[in-house]
C-alpha cells in the first residue's frame, strides 16, 4: 500500500500523469485496462506501468479509485479546467517570472496558431479587457 501523500494542493502532474488525466477527462471513469489501451497507443507503457501510475496518482490525490466492482474504476478528482489552470500558473511563475505576456508570446512562437485559435485568443483578451475597465 502506498503512503497517504494527499495534500491540500495537488501535486504537479508529470507528463504521463497528464496523459492519463486527459484520458479520464475525455472518457470519464475508466478501468486500468481502458486507460492502458489508450495510453499504450500514445507511448510505450506496460499494463503494470499504467496500474502503478494510477496507484501513485491515487496516493497524490489526483485520481480516486472506486473499488465497488471487481475491476477498479478510476476518475479524475479535479476538472480539466482547474488542473490546467494550476499547471499553467505554475509554469508562468517558474519559467516566465509571472509574466502572462511572455508565456503567450513563447506559446505562439513555438507552434503556429490556427485562425480559429487566434480569434479565440482575441475574444478572451477583449473579454478580459472589458472586465478590468
Query: Per-10-residue mean pLDDT for the chain, 133 residues long?
Result: 44 92 97 97 96 96 90 94 93 93 89 91 91 84
Closest CA to 85 of 75, 100, 105: 100
pLDDT at 110: 82
Q: How many CA atoms within 13 Å lie on the side-chain side of 25?
A: 14
pLDDT at 16: 95
pLDDT at 2: 41
Looking up cell 480569434 gives: 119
pLDDT at 10: 60
pLDDT at 3: 42
CA distance linking residue 91 with residue 86, whole number of Å? 9
CA distance linking residue 64 with residue 49, whole number of Å? 17
Q: How many CA atoms within 13 Å lie on the side-chain side of 22?
A: 11
pLDDT at 13: 93
pLDDT at 38: 97
pLDDT at 9: 53
DSSP class of residue 73?
Answer: E
Distances (CA, A) of 115 to 106, 120, 124, 126: 18, 9, 14, 16
Closest CA to 24 of 69, 71, 73, 72: 73
Amino acid at each position: 500500500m502506498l503512503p497517504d501523500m494527499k495534500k491540500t494542493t495537488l501535486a504537479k502532474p508529470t507528463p504521463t500523469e497528464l496523459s492519463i488525466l486527459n484520458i479520464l477527462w475525455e472518457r470519464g471513469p475508466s478501468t486500468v485496462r481502458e486507460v492502458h489501451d489508450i495510453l499504450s497507443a500514445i507511448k510505450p507503457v506496460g499494463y503494470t506501468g499504467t496500474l502503478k501510475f494510477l496507484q501513485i496518482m491515487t496516493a497524490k490525490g489526483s485520481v480516486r479509485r472506486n473499488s465497488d466492482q471487481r475491476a477498479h474504476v478510476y476518475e479524475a478528482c479535479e476538472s480539466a479546467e482547474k488542473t490546467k489552470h494550476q499547471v499553467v500558473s505554475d509554469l508562468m511563475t517558474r519559467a516566465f517570472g509571472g509574466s502572462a505576456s511572455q508565456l503567450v508570446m513563447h506559446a505562439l512562437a513555438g507552434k503556429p496558431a490556427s485562425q480559429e485559435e487566434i480569434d479565440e485568443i482575441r475574444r478572451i483578451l477583449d473579454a478580459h479587457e472589458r472586465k478590468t475597465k
